[in-house]
A and B are shown apart, each in its own frame.
Chain A
Amino acid sequence: MARWIPDESGEEAALLESLGIPSTDALFTDVPKRARIGRMGVGAALEEREVVGEVDRLLDRNRPLSHFSSFLGGRLTSRYAPAAVDAIVSRSEFYTAYTPYQAEASQGMLRALFEFQSLWVEMTGLDVANASLYDGATAAGEALLFCRRLHEGSRFLVPASLPWEERSVLENYASGPGLRVEGIPYDDVTGRIDLDFVRSAVAQKDVFGVLADVPNGFGHIDEGIPELKSLLGDVPLVVSADPLSLSVLEAPGRYGADVVVGEGQGFGISPSFGGPLLGLFACRHEHVRSAPGRIVGATTDTEGRRAFALTLVTREQHIRRSRATSNICTNESLMALAFVVYATVVGPRGLARLQSTLAEKARTLASGLGGVEGLKAPRFDAPYLGDFTVEVARGTADEFLDRLLRRKVLGGHSLADPRPGATRAAERILVGITEATTEKDIQKYVAAAKTAIAAVGRSA
């Protein structure tokens, strides 16, 4: 049994004695007999070294990314995090704290979150960022509800190319208030969203918000996005942006975005089989009282020194209850800390150089795969920064990826919605790159792809 419940000195006896009761049974007389349970069936306690042994035994059944040449991409990445990030995130003054309700005792976390908010403001060109949401998809969901507070209507437009997971999360956020998420068709050659569709939808006066993603669900840059706001009038524009891309791409606030959301996991947070992640959210000053989530503000203490506190709390669930802008309570503060430490260690120029390196490697990979008979790479004729889409001419993406796996190549992930009945894009693969991808990895992928697609062809 762990040493975490202190009773080595028999102190529980003293506590019981002080209360004048013989055992803790007397403390549970308020639980009716009919509601009692017997054994749960959890098993016996293990010593710490046994726990380590048991967990390691299970984890040993995983093949971590280092085992492969990995080309998994998309919103979640496996980019390298400098050790300095974990050194700070591992400071237990940070990680064993909770939400800084008592500002004076929590200036460290409040200041770090204020710096995080400031960074996302600088990257997006907007005015206000919140202190984090769960992940990129739920941040988009909160943005949907936010837009509805700013504008009447029942339709929320998103690219039809949006990853199916995000679409599903958005549909859930829309379902409560009875709103509809609608796909904007895209051009089959460039993947660009159809601006005429947006124009005519907006003209019907029932659209309350439009979301566009940069890069899009295919990994590509849609050159039409900067024109989008001019079609929308006062309908809010949400841009879902990869934060690394903003090191080289125009701040969406400059081309009319009213909200910028994103997934922050790539900034110093390990993929950890999908969580914890980091939801990013920024908006304009005039809309801040409709914004979801915690917000840290600067103020002063009684001696006039700079100090920080959670602010604009009347938006929040603990004050406003059912009329709150969101139900957010626990968010992803520690991941927000990782994000700002990562960006500061790497630096703005370092981030841009990293994105530039990824783009170069991606071009090498695309030209290699593009030369393989039976593959179309990149599938879309549009710029890209690291991720891009490959299409298999024969069989399905999954069959192709299975064959690559035999050569220890994780060749990307299928864009198909795995739920039965959904058949969307079963032949498309999102391919990604990291700074760790070597020339040799790329050659290995190209060679494996030739055999794999040929084999898929034979079996088909």
Chain B
Amino acid sequence: MTFRQARWDEPAVWDLAPARPADAPPQISGIPEKMRRKEAVHWPELSELEVIRHYTRLSQMNFGIDTSTYPLGSCTMKYNPKVSEVLARRPGAADVHPFQPEATVQGSLEVAWRLERILARVTGLPEISLQPAAGAHGEYAAMLMVRAYFRDQGELAERTEVLLPDTAHGTNPASAAMAGFTTREIRSKEGCVDLEELRREVSKKTACFMLTNPNTAGLFESEILEIAEAVHSVGALLYYDGANLNAILGVTHPGRMGFDVAHLNLHKTFATPHGGGGPGAGVLGAGAKLGPYLPVPRVVKEGRKYRLDYDRPKSIGKIKTAFGNFGLDLRAYAFILSHGEEGLKHIARRSVLNSNYAAAQMGQYLPRPFRTLVKHEFVLSGAPLKAKGVRTLDLAKRLLDEGVHAPTVYFPSLVDEALMVELPETESKRDLDAYIAAFGRAISDTPENLHAAPRSLSVTRVDEVRAAREPLLSWKDLRDAAAKAETP
């Protein structure tokens, strides 16, 4: 291994400038004394070069897709096309205020409308809203729609429960709970929903079943039509978590599988950058039952003009300021235009091909808990490593030393010491082979080296237990801790 990350002895931004006496900000007439800030905000005054150098150095101590294969399962870390970055910064996109009159934003409205129409075809769900700011935000909005729907049906008092499989993303139960539902997990059988168990568990109490397909074990839920039937037979609704849509683009879609409502992550399937943890964009798609409940405004076309329609009496209202994350909608639109029908289908084929290839190779090192035909991602169990005193966490850290990112670890929780690997369609065979080779070196290394990893990054193993036990959450905390340490 020859990789070395930059290791700058870069001070915190507040240590770059000498402390200076605090002064009062300028007085603004009319502001009463009791509301005036007495001392300027405690923050350094720096030259622009000092600021640029500081954050450039920080950036050099960070992995991104542009520097490293980044196989986080269920995150779909694919290449973020540069052309989208250029387009999103055009004045016609960036320098447009959401409260401008409709006549002056016809371009933005048309982009939104066109993207919605395409996503309706991709999902098989005719009604689309671009308003949610992230996947979990879309889930939450959908659960509010489910709630509003059953309220209108007069069944809300009875339908208090949302069911989900034990492989569900943590956001699913969290979103359902925020929307006022209780949640219950359905046990999986060999990595998929146990249909018999589901049939036993659904009832008039069930408002919704939330499902990711392919699921987080990387498996396609082949009994999806039977699942949909079981859920619908008791009058409940079926929710599609679109985190893993990449694997099935053009093969099937939520509408055909029987889902009533879905969210998509534009920052996964449609390649908008993940931004170090956001922004995202969590599009909502709905069929006939839930369509009327989507957030307002909706974009409508009348003749050749586009308009924002607020006249949706059943709508849940707003879930965010203004509209969706337009900057990301535009990037996704450019991505779709670049691929076209065949390109989108190619995405599914190639991502699944990459995944099965890597699974077969990496499966030589660690057991694969479920069936071997996987979709866009696969799961390995690091449990055998425990015999030599090594854990999945050590393996993940050792992979970082190879200059590649680790897979998602310890999820899904039904697999002991899980690693969840997703290598999207933009990873070349050369990069796959390099990753597999790095994995082989990492797993064959000595326990001592695995425990000592990482050694090639800007820091060695980070003490996360201490971070939680003695929380230091801001500069202020650091100052207070330093002052306390000085007091005998």
Contacts and interface: CB of A to CB of B under 8 A. Distances in A.
A344 B277 contact: no
**Leading 8 A-B pairs by shortest Cβ distance:** A274-B322, A45-B340, A59-B92, A334-B275, A108-B62, A274-B98, A275-B325, A276-B279
A302 B344 contact: no
Interface in A89-111: 90-109, 111
Interface stretch (B200-208, B232-240, B442-450, B470-478): B470-478
A368 to B, nearest CB: 17
B369 interface: no
Contacts of A45: 337-343
Contacts of B57: 108
Given A97-B274, A344-B46, 19 more contacts: A2-B338, A7-B350, A24-B353, A44-B341, A45-B340, A95-B273, A96-B66, A97-B64, A98-B70, A98-B276, A102-B63, A103-B464, A249-B37, A270-B95, A274-B321, A322-B176, A322-B183, A334-B279, A363-B29
A129 B60 contact: no
A74 B100 CA distance: 12
Nearest to A319: B170
Nearest to B101: A405
Contact of A42 (B55, B344, B430, B478): B344
Contact of A275 (B104, B133, B170): B133
B209 interface: no
B58 A112 contact: yes
A134 B43 contact: no
B266 to A, nearest CB: 11
A154 interface: no
Given A45-B340, A276-B325, A301 B277 contact: no
B137 interface: yes
B94 A270 contact: yes
12 contacts: A24-B352, A37-B251, A96-B64, A108-B59, A175-B180, A248-B28, A248-B37, A276-B325, A309-B462, A311-B471, A331-B277, A418-B297
A179 B169 CA distance: 27
A72 B375 CA distance: 48
Interface in A306-337: 307-309, 311-314, 316-324, 326-335, 337
Interface string A17-56: 0110000100111111011110111111110101110111
Interface string B402-445: 00011010010000000000000111111010000000000000
Nearest to B104: A63
A84 B57 CA distance: 14
B97 A271 contact: yes
A238 interface: no
Contacts of B326: 272-275
Contact of A301 (B86, B342, B373, B462): B462
A32 B226 CA distance: 11
B64 A93 contact: yes
A118 to B, nearest CB: 4
A303 B265 CA distance: 39
B61 to A, nearest CB: 4
A348 B41 contact: yes
Contacts of B338: 1-2, 4, 45-46, 48, 51
Contact of A326 (B178, B457, B476): B178
Interface in B206-231: 219-220, 222, 224-225
A35 B62 contact: no
A312 B468 contact: yes
Interface in B22-40: 23, 25-26, 28-32, 34-38, 40
Interface string A249-264: 1110001000000010
Contact of A168 (B274, B317, B474): B317
Contacts of B428: 6, 11
Contact of A317 (B32, B114, B171): B171
A65 B349 CA distance: 43
A38 to B, nearest CB: 9
A314 B100 CA distance: 42
Given A14-B429, A248-B31, A299-B464, A1 B318 contact: no
A130 B343 CA distance: 39
Interface string A73-87: 011101000101011
Interface string B376-401: 00000000000000000000110010
A93 B60 contact: yes
A93 B118 contact: no
Nearest to A328: B136
A374 interface: no
A353 interface: yes
A94 B341 contact: no
A88 B56 contact: yes
A75 B320 CA distance: 12
A16 to B, nearest CB: 7
B25 A352 contact: yes
Contact of B323 (A134, A223, A250, A273): A273
B134 A331 contact: yes
Contacts of B362: none
B282 to A, nearest CB: 8
Interface stretch (A198-206, A289-297, A452-460): A289-297
A22 B333 CA distance: 33
Contacts of A276: 133, 278-279, 325, 327-328
Contacts of B245: none
Given A5-B347, A48-B338, A272-B93, A88 B59 contact: yes
A334 B96 contact: no
A301 B460 contact: yes
Contacts of A272: 88, 93-94, 96, 325-327
A95 B225 contact: no
Nearest to A128: B473
B180 A274 contact: no
A361 B89 CA distance: 29
B277 A131 contact: yes
Given A94-B62, A297-B472, A305 B319 contact: no
Contact of A108 (B61, B220, B405): B61
A271 B277 contact: no
A383 B31 contact: yes
A420 interface: yes
B330 interface: yes
B331 to A, nearest CB: 10
Choose among A36, A308, A332 the residue with the greatest number of B CB atoms under 10 Å from its CB. A332
A113 B59 CA distance: 12
Contacts of B60: 93, 108
A288 B473 contact: yes
B256 interface: yes
B457 A107 contact: yes
Given A27-B356, A52-B83, A410-B100, A247 B37 contact: yes
B81 A58 contact: no
A70 B144 CA distance: 36
Contacts of A109: 58, 62, 276-277
Interface stretch (A119-127, A229-237, A440-448): A119-127
A118 B475 contact: yes
Given A37-B253, A51-B337, A93-B64, A61 B110 contact: yes
Choose among A107, A145, A305 the residue with the greatest number of B CB atoms under 10 Å from its CB. A107
Contact of B278 (A52, A72, A320, A332): A332
Contacts of A353: 26
Given A62-B108, A137-B318, A344-B44, A331 B28 contact: no
Interface in A119-166: 119, 121-123, 127-129, 131-132, 134-138, 145, 165-166
